[in-house]
Chains A and B, each alone.
Chain A
């Protein structure tokens, strides 16, 4: 396919790539700000939010992990439990249902598919 691109379209390609990278940078800005603000003391966050944390401090992370309301182990365990069981059972059951639906006659299949699609609407 490369031979089909002539010089002008390759230049346009570069411009578009640049636009893409610019968009990605703007997009990632909030995440970048959050991550670097983890390691900064509060005053520095309000004073210069975009600067790099030099020197980095770990107090914020410590206070979250050691707060008596936060039991990270229990929280992770809960999330992992829910994910593993939920996704596991879901995959198992839905593949079974899908197998049956695919291999039956058309009219019954339509009814089941319609009913299951109803469920899709509430999951977003």
Chain B
């Protein structure tokens, strides 16, 4: 074809895509790109919300996953705007795999969104988030309120259950396994039986989702082991009374290493992203997958039932029977010019309008933190998930503690990378030795 024809075709294709793209009503500002540090000079802080006449516009930073789709956020926004004329909400999508990094770049650029989801990382620094009015805090359970430097700067949103082990019932039957494992030895047993039957027992995650490689084991098992031995672990580790090279932690991670060294993980684990690994698991590439509570809601929504997919709590080598929840918060930025409207929005979604609150909780399978619990219908898998914890003790999650006993920023990412090293063959002891030095370094930097 002549060059002219090719360029005509390309131009027409571009116009067609522009026209079809323009035919939508919603428009949102794409988030700013990450700039190189060499260009980050101090800039005067200004904000997005404008007051033209009577309309107030608030910017709301959200993130999207398979469960939190764009429709979920849009539904919440539409319902709120219908009930509150005069306040418009603009959605800002937090892109990238690290939401705190996104918020920090927005803050550095002077574009901090008014209302943030997942503000925990930045809340440790004074002056980023506005103090929450006491009447609003009164709606929530006392245990869920977070204090930073003596101030209450975050609005509790929900609490999420963490991780259990999902499995395909048909693969278990084929390998001759009839019961869910209750102890560590039983778990090793079923892994052996699955391997003998020619199946891959466990699915792992790698590639760019570094958090996911160790997620199942760390939050489900090691957290329980540590808290059983040291109930005040966070205070002790931060003050230096305990070290990360503690034998309790080493034993727990070495138990993980026995699983890895025995070859129970899928061979391609480290090259799968989290979405890929989930898909492979659903398609039956492996028998089990240590995954989070959000998947239960997802499986229910896609039509699976407890006939196909079972779930059990990972038995801990130390015999601890406990589980942790991760609290989630919303924060209103100090740079917001319409704090009343922003807090009104928070109050509306997080408990004020019970239908919307239930809708929000149901999307990801999380649980309410209001004094008046909002309960919703759960699918069979999710019901089994929360019932599994009936006799278990609720303990705090080390890495996700908020307030003054929080682990310094950046340490969790460091541990995720270190645990990935362990997954690919490093020795547990040598990795743990690097944790103490790094934690001290980050503690010194955050003063």
Q: Do A and B come from one complex?
A: yes
Chain A contact residues, CB within 8 Å of chain B? 65-76, 78
Q: Given contacts A65-B17, A65-B21, A69-B93, are A74 and B70 in contact (CB under 8 A)?
A: no
CA distance A95 to B27 in the complex (A): 39
List 8 A–B pairs whose Cβ atoms lie within 8 Å, in order of A's numbering: A65-B21, A68-B70, A69-B28, A69-B93, A71-B21, A71-B26, A72-B18, A72-B20
Report Cα–Cα, A24/B18, bound state, in Å: 32
Is the beta-carbon distance between B74 and A68 smaller than 8 angstroms?
yes
Interface string of B63-76 (1 = CB under 8 A from A): 01000001100100
Number of interface residues of B (CB under 8 A): 17
Interface string of B143-170 (1 = CB under 8 A from A): 0000000000000000000000000000
Contact B28 A71 (CB under 8 A): yes
Q: Which of B21, B64, B74 contacts A70 (CB 8 A)?
A: B21
Whether B30 is near chain A, meaning CB under 8 Å from some CB there, is yes
Docked complex Cα distance between A99 and B20 (Å): 46
CA distance in complex: A65, B21 (Å): 6
Residues of B43-71 at the interface with A, using a CB-CB cut-off of 8 Å, are 64, 70-71
Q: Quick check: B24 and A71 within 8 Å, CB to CB?
A: yes
Q: Is the CB of B28 within 8 A of A65?
A: no
User: How far, in angstroms, from A69 to B28 measured CA to CA in the complex?
Assistant: 7
Q: Please pick, from B30, B64, B71, the residue contacting A75 in the complex, using a CB distance under 8 A.
A: B30
B14 within 8 A of partner (CB): yes
Task: Please give me the residue from chain A that is nearest to B20 by CB atom.
Answer: A65
Closest CB pairs A-B (n = 8):
A72-B21, A73-B22, A68-B70, A73-B18, A73-B21, A68-B26, A65-B20, A65-B21
Residues of B within 8 A of A74 (CB): 27, 30
CB distance from B39 to the nearest CB of A (A): 10
Name B36's closest neighbour in chain A (CB-CB): A122
Expressed in whole angstroms, the minimum distance between the Cβ of A83 and any Cβ of chain B is 14
A46–B281 CA distance with the chains assembled, in angstroms: 15
12 additional A-B pairs beyond A66-B24, A67-B70, A73-B18, beta carbons within 8 Å, are: A65-B20, A65-B21, A68-B70, A69-B70, A69-B93, A71-B22, A71-B27, A72-B18, A72-B20, A72-B21, A73-B19, A73-B21
Minimal Cβ-Cβ distance residue in B for A73: B22
The answer for the CA separation of A38 and B70 in the assembled complex, in Å, is 23
Docked CA distance A65–B13 (Å): 12
- With most chain A CB atoms within 10 A of its CB, the pick from B19, B22, B93 is B22
A72 touching B17 by the CB < 8 A rule? yes
Bound: A71/B90 CA distance, A: 15
Closest Cβ of chain B to A80, distance in Å, is 10
Q: How far is the CA of A74 from the CA of B22 in the complex (A)?
A: 8
A66 vs B24: C-alpha distance when bound (angstroms) = 8
Q: Which residues of A contact B19 (CB under 8 A)?
A: 73
Q: How far is the CA of A76 from the CA of B21 in the complex (A)?
A: 10
User: Most chain-A CB neighbours within 10 Å: which of B28, B64, B93?
Assistant: B28
Residues of B within 8 A of A75 (CB): 21, 30
Give the residues in chain A near B28, CB-CB below 8 Å.
69, 71
Cβ of A76 and Cβ of B26 under 8 Å apart? no
Give, as a whole number of angstroms, the nearest-CB distance from B262 to chain A: 29
